[in-house]
Amino acid sequence: MTAPPPAAAWSPPDPAPAAATAAVPRLAVERLTAWYGDAAGIRDVSLAFEANRVSALIGPSGCGKSTLLRCLNRMHELVPDARVEGRVLLDGHDIYAPGVNPIAVRRTVGMVFQKPTPFPTMSIAENVAAGLKVGPPVSRSERDAVVERALRRAALWDEVKDRLHHSPLALSGGQQQRLCVARSIAPEPEVLLLDEPTASLDPLGAARIEELVHELKREFTVVIVTHNLQQAARVSDVTSFFYLGTLVETGPTAQLFTAPVQPQTEAYITGRFG
C-alpha cells in the first residue's frame, strides 16, 4: 500500500466466480417508477443485479440513475412528496411490501455517498462502528475486530491504525471516503450502493476507491452510479445506461462499451452528448 497505482487502464471484468449462486438475482427491480411530487424521476424500470458483481448505472445528469439507486435502499421516500410504484426484490422479497421496515432494509443495503461524511463528533473507530449500534449487540472485542476488518477491507487500516481514537476530520478527502466505505461495510450489508463515490476526490483518492470496488465485490453485491464513463468501464461487470428516466440499455460492460445496441447509448458513450 505504498506506491500509488499506475494510471488506471481498463481491464476486462472478472470471469464468473467459482461460487455461482442460484438463478434468483440478489437484487431485482420490477417495473419501478419513482415520483418526486408530480414528476417521475424514473419510469417503468426493470433491472436485475447479480450477486457478487459490480453493476454500474450511467447516464447524463438528471437521467434518474441516482433516483434508482436511492430506491434500492428506500432512501428515496425521505424526500417530501416522494412516491414509488413497482417492486424492488431483495432475494426475491419485495422491500416495498406493506409492513416492511425501511430502517431494517437500510441495514441490509448499505450506501456510500458522493461527499465523504464522517460523523464529526465521533472518532475514527467510533465512525466505523456506528452501524453496529443498530444491529445485534456485540462485545467490545468483537466490535474492535469488526472495526479492524472493515478498515482493512477499505484499505485504510495501515494509515489510521495508530489514530483510531482521533477525529476523522484530519484525514484527507480520499481517506474520509474510504472511512465511509469501511463504515458502510462494517455491519455486513448484503448489497453496497455507491453514489458517485469518487466525484469529490482527487485522482489518487479516486483510483484507490476503484481498487476497493474490485475487492468489495467478493463479498458484496455492488451497484455504482457514476458519471465517469471510464470509471464505469474500469470497475463494473454490468453497465446500464439511463436517459430521461428510462432504462435504455443494459449488458456486460465490455459489450456495452464496444458494441452498444441502442443508438442513444452509442451517442452517449462516444461523447456526442453528456
Partner 1 sequence: MTALAPEQPLARAPRVSTAERWRDLRIVSPGDAVYRVALMLLALVLPLLLLAIVGGLVVGAWPAIRQFQLGFLFRSTWDPVAGQFGALPLIFGTLYSSLVAIVIAVPLALGAAIFLTEFAPRWMRTPVGTLIELLAGVPSVIYGLWGLFVLVPLLRDVIWPVVKPVLRWLPFFSGPFYGPSVLAGGTILAVMVLPYVAAVSREVLRAVPPAQREAALALGATRWEAVWTVVLPYGRAGIFGAVVLGLGRALGETMAVTMLIGNRHEISLSLVQPGYTIAAAIANEFAEAVSSLHLSALVYCGLVLFVITVCVNAAARWLIWRVARGSAAGSAAL
Partner 2 sequence: MASPATRRIVGAAMTGATYGAAALAIVPLAAILVMLLTKGAGSLDWDFFTRSAVPVGEPGGGFAHAIVGTLLVVGVACAIGIPIGVGAGIFLAEFGGGRFGWVVRFVADTLNGTPSIVIGIFAWAWIVRPAGRFTALAGSVALACILAPLVARTTEEMVRLVPNSLREAALALGYPRWRTSLTVVARTARAGIVTGCLVAIARVAGETAPLLFTALGNQFFSTNLLQPIAALPLQIYVYALGPYEEWHRQAWAGALVLILLVLILGTIARVATRSRHERA
Residue 143 cell numbers, joined? 466490535
Q: How far is CA 241 from CA 128, 191, 264, 268, in A?
A: 33, 20, 9, 9
- The yes or no reply on residue 2 touching partner 2 (CB under 8 A) is no
Helix (H, G, I), strand (E, B) or coil at 8: coil
Q: How far is the CB of 250 from partner 1 (least distance, A)?
A: 25
How many residues of this chain bind partner 2 (CB under 8 A)? 28
- The yes or no reply on residue 73 touching partner 2 (CB under 8 A) is yes
Residue 218 carries which DSSP code?
T
Q: Which of 25, 64, 131, 168 touches partner 2 by CB under 8 A?
A: 131
> Could you tell me if 112 and 195 are in contact, meaning their C-beta atoms sit under 8 angstroms apart?
yes
- Residues at the contact surface with partner 1, assessed by CB under 8 A: 91-93, 95, 99-101, 103-105, 108, 136, 138, 141-142, 144-146, 148-149, 152-153, 188, 215, 218-219
Residue 78 carries which DSSP code?
G
CA distance 65 to 86: 16
Find the part of the chain contacting partner 2 (CB under 8 A) among 28-36, 99-107, 216-224, 262-270. 99-107
Q: Which of 184, 198, 231, 250 touches partner 2 by CB under 8 A?
A: 184
Please name every residue paired with 85 in a beta bridge, in sequence order, or none if there are none: 33
CA distance 28 to 15: 22
Choose between 92 and 271: whose C-beta lies nearer to partner 1: 92
> Could you tell me if 66 and 224 are in contact, meaning their C-beta atoms sit under 8 angstroms apart?
no
Choose between 80 and 271: whose C-beta lies nearer to partner 2: 80
Beta strand 238-243 pairing with 246-252: antiparallel
Residue with cell 417495473: 31
Q: How far is the CB of 143 from partner 1 (least distance, A)?
A: 10
Q: Which of 59, 110, 174, 245 touches partner 2 by CB under 8 A?
A: 110
Q: Name the site residues for partner 2 (rule: CB under 8 A).
A: 73, 75, 78, 80, 103-108, 110-111, 113, 115, 117, 119-121, 130-131, 133-135, 169, 180, 183-184, 187
